[in-house]
Chains A and B, each alone.
Chain A
Amino acid sequence: MKIKLRNPSREVELAGRKRVKDVLRELDILPGTVLVIRGADLLTADEVVGDGDELEVRPVMSGGSEAK
C-alpha cells in the first residue's frame, strides 16, 4: 500500500494486510496525533488495509503562537 505522509511531505510503501494501528506502529506514529484517510473515508485503528490501498496519514497538530 502507498502511504502519504506530511511534514515533510513524502510517500512510503508497506506490504501486506494489516490493521491501521499496526501500520502506525510500523511508522512510529502515535494514533492520537493523526487522521488516517482512505479516499473520502476516515479509518479507525482496527480497520484492515492492504495492497492496493492508498492512505494519507495527516497530522492534526497545530501550534506556535498562543493566539490562534
Chain B
Amino acid sequence: MKCRKCGAGAVIELPRHNAAFCAPDFKEFFRKQVAEAIRKHRMFTSDEPVLVAVSGGKDSLALWDVLIETGYQTAGLYLDLGIFDYSVESKTKCEAFAASRGQKLIVESVANAIGAPIPEVQKATRRPTCSACGLSKRYLMNRAAVDHGYPVIATGHNLDDEAAVLFGNVLHWQMDPLSRQSPALASTHPKLARRVKPLYRLSERETAAYAFLRGIDYIVDECPFAKGATSIAHKQILDRLEEASPGAKHNFLFGFLEKARGVFEGTEPTVLNECAVCGQVTTGEICAFCKLSDQVKRRRA
C-alpha cells in the first residue's frame, strides 16, 4: 500500500477517506484535521491559554501533543479518580509527558473534592460508576479552569466517542443532550469555561496511530469500570457498521452536526445560577456535584 501523497510505503490506511499515508504525511493529515476543527468552530485563538484535560490515554495525550507542536499555550489537567492501579499508572504517564515537554500539569484529586475515590462513590451512592465519574470530571474540569484562569477546556473526545454518544442519545431520543452535543460549547456564564473537542474529526484508530507514531507513552489498558459500559456496546455496534460501510460513523456524526442539530435546539436559553453550596454554575439551586458529595459523606458517616 502506497502513501496517497508521496507514494512511499504507507503505515496506515483510512478506508473512510479512501486513502493511505506514510508516517510523516499521516502526522501532517492529523494536524490539519485538528487545525480545521479549531478553525471551523472557533475553538480558541493562539492568544488564549488552553487547559487540556488529560487522562494518560491516547486521545488526550495526542491532543496535548498536537497543541504544543502547533504553538498553543497549554497546561494539562489530570483528575486523579482513585481507581486503583489504573489511576496510579495513568497519572505517571501524564506527569512523564508533561515533564518531557516542559509543560505545567495541574493535578486534582476526586477523593479530596468529593470525599471518596470513584470506586467508593459507586458503593456509597449505587449510582453507575461511569455516571458519577463523568459528573465529577465535568465539574472539576470547569472548576479548575475557572480557578486557574483558563477560558477554555479541551478534551480528547474523538469521532468514535462523539458518534457513540450521538447513537445513545438518538436511541433514547434524549432531546436536551442532542441539543447540546457539539464540538464546541460556548461559555454562557462568567464561571463556565468554553468546552471544545479538537479531535472530533479523527477516529480513535487515527488518534492511536498518531500517539504511536509520535512515540507517546500512553496507558493502553482500559479503565476497569469501562468493561460492560453502554458506550462501549454502542461503539462495537458502530464498528461493525463501519466495517461494512466505511464512512458510516463520519456521515452519522457530521450529518447530525451539519443538518440535524439545530432541530433540537430549544428556543429558551438555559438559565444558569450559582450553586448555594459551592458557588459553581448549576441550572438548579444546588449543583449535582454537591448533591453527590453530600450523599457520599452521609452514607460514609
CA A33 to CA B208, docked complex, whole Å? 10
B55 sits at the interface (CB 8 A): yes
Does B60 lie at the interface of the complex (its beta carbon under 8 Å from any beta carbon of A)?
yes
Q: How large is the interface on B (under 10, 10 to 19, 20 to 34, 35 or more residues)?
A: 35 or more
Interface flag for B80 (CB, 8 Å): no
B164 touches A63 (CB 8 A): yes
Shortest C-beta distance, B290 to chain A (Å), equals: 17
Once bound together, how far apart are the Cα atoms of A47 and B81, in whole Å?
40
Instruction: Judge whether B130 and A62 touch: CB under 8 Å.
Output: no
The total number of A-B Cβ pairs within 8 Å is: 107
Chain A nearest CB: distance from B108 CB in Å? 14
Smallest Cβ distance from A46 to chain B, in angstroms?
5
Whether B208 and A66, one on each chain, are in contact in the complex, defined by CB atoms closer than 8 angstroms, is: no
Residue of B whose beta carbon sits closest to that of A35: B208
A68 engages B59 (CB within 8 Å): yes
The 8 Å CB contact of B226, one of A37, A58, A63, A67, is A63
Residues of chain A contacted by B163 (CB below 8 angstroms): none
Interface size class of A (residues with CB under 8 A): 20 to 34
Question: Which residues of chain A have C-beta atoms less than 8 A from B164's C-beta?
Answer: 63
Contact between chains at A6 and B160 (CB < 8 Å):
no
Interface residues of B, Cβ cutoff 8 Å to A? 1, 10-13, 15, 20, 23, 53, 55, 57-60, 130-131, 133-135, 137-138, 141, 155-157, 160-161, 164-165, 203-205, 207-209, 212-213, 220-223, 225-226, 229, 231-232, 235, 239-240, 242-243
9 nearest A-B pairs in the assembled complex, by CB-CB distance? A65-B134, A64-B226, A60-B208, A67-B137, A65-B130, A42-B11, A65-B133, A63-B232, A67-B134
Q: Residues of A with Cβ closer than 8 Å to B?
A: 6-7, 30-35, 37, 41-47, 58-68
Offer 28 A-B interface pairs, CB within 8 angstroms, sorted by A: A30-B239, A32-B243, A35-B208, A35-B209, A35-B212, A37-B212, A42-B11, A44-B1, A45-B13, A60-B58, A61-B204, A61-B232, A61-B235, A62-B57, A62-B204, A63-B161, A63-B229, A63-B235, A64-B222, A64-B225, A65-B134, A66-B161, A66-B231, A67-B135, A67-B137, A68-B53, A68-B156, A68-B157
